[in-house]
Structure formats: C-alpha cells, structure tokens
C-alpha cells in the first residue's frame, strides 16, 4: 500500500560527553546524513548551541536541515549522555538500521530506543484537485 512517508525517531543513551558536545561532530551529522541517505538539502544546515534552561535540559547542540524529502533534526544533551533525533522523509524504504548505526557511531551511544512510523497511510495516489 502506498504511504506518503516514513518517520524515524532515535533516542540514544550513554553517549560520549565529548562527542555530544563537539560542534564539528554535530555539524557533520546534518552535512553528511542527507547525502548518505540519497536526500537533498534545500538550504544550508543550521546548528545552534542550546543553553541550559534550568529545568530538564542542561544545554547542548540542536541541528536541523530542511531536505527536499522533509527534514532531519537532532538535539544533543552532553551532560546527560543523551541525543534525540528525528528523520522524516517522503521516501519509502528508509534504511533505519543504517541511520541508527550512524548515530551510534557519531556519539558512541551505549543504548538506543527507536520508533518508526509510516506517515500518510491514506495519501491519495493521484491529485484530487
């Protein structure tokens, strides 16, 4: 059955503080991953240092890239050894194992939790207007 797209979320635990806090490492993700997945950036990637909000977020890096196929985003939390990533694409057949392995390597993650959602299950096969 045709569906519009696929959405993978990754929550990584026990990551390396230095890798999660390294600006160049974090930037490399949003520069490399679209190409690795055969996707196409529509605009230059954005990486910002996110400050400690004095609540549950002790600060880290937030990265985002708009791709023709949708978006890739992640947020690192070095002091917690944690990363949260979001890969959404209108492509079908997303290689989830490749993406998870990529994030595990980039941040030396010890444990990973993933969710995979097929989006737009009722997406029309033809234009309706």
Active site residues: 70, 75, 90
37: which 2 tokens? 């997945």
Q: Strands 70-77 and 60-67: what pairing?
A: antiparallel
C-alpha atoms less than 13 angstroms from C-alpha of 13 in its C-beta half-sphere = 4
- What angle, 0 to 180 degrees and rounded to 10, lies between the N-to-C axes of helices 96-107 and 23-36? 160
The length of the chain, given as a count of residues: 129
41: which 2 tokens? 């950036």
């Amino acid at each position: 059955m045709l569906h519009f797209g696929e959405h993978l979320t990754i929550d990584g635990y026990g990551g390396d503080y230095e890798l999660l806090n390294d600006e160049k490492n974090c930037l490399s993700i949003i520069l490399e991953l679209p190409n690795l997945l055969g996707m196409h950036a529509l605009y230059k990637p954005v990486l910002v240092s996110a400050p400690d909000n004095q609540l549950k977020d002790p600060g880290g890096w937030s990265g985002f890239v708009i791709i023709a196929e949708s978006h890739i985003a992640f947020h690192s939390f070095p002091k917690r050894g944690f990363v949260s990533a979001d890969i959404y694409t209108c492509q079908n057949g997303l290689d989830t194992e490749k993406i998870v392995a990529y994030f595990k390597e980039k941040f030396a993650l010890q444990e990973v939790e993933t969710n995979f959602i097929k989006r737009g299950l009722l997406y029309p096969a033809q234009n309706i207007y």
